Amino acid sequence: MEKSGFKSIVFIVLLSFTVLQSFAQYQITGKIMQKSEKQSPLSLVNVELRTADSVYVNRMTGDENGNFRFKNVAAGNYRITISYSGFSSQTIELNGLSNSVNLKNIFMEESVNQLKSVTVTGRKCIWCF
């Protein structure tokens, strides 16, 4: 086989691998846990996936055991925002995603937001019988 023919075949094979890699799809998984003494899973947590420059990609709700999974994620830089009522939101940066990743246990802390006061006002209805 000629050198130029061999070089062409090698070039085509390398190009094929490069093209296949650019279409590769990965998954991002994790488990949301309550940061406390018992460290129990948090169910139905909101998990949002955006690119590093804040372009929306996907949003999901974790299952009853705190697990979440984003499928078919292209290689790139991402930001995951996790929120749950009564807990402080959390953001995780994923730079250079080039294979599937398991974030394992992600611990969320209860937020300590207190109202200063609550005023309840009532009036008697003069038209009611």
Select from 1.20.1270.360, 3.40.50.740, 2.60.40.10, 3.40.190.10 the CATH code of 22-108. 2.60.40.10
Report the residue count for the chain: 129
Mean of the per-residue pLDDT values for the chain?
Answer: 85
Kindly report, residue by residue over 18-58, the tens digit of the pLDDT: 555 556 789 999 999 999 888 899 999 999 999 999 999 99
**Spans of all domains in the chain:** 22-108
Q: Tokens 């650019």 — which residue?
A: 22
Dump the DSSP string for 112-125.
----S---------
60 alpha-carbon distance from chain centroid: 8
Check the CA dihedral 121-126-128-129 and report its sign.
positive
Alpha-carbon distance of 13 to 5, in angstroms, equals 12
Q: Tokens 């991002």 — which residue?
A: 28
8: confidence class by pLDDT, cuts 50, 70, 90: confident
What is the enclosing helix (H) or strand (E) of 103? strand 101-108
Kindly report, residue by residue over 47-71, the tens digit of the pLDDT: 999 999 999 999 999 999 999 999 9
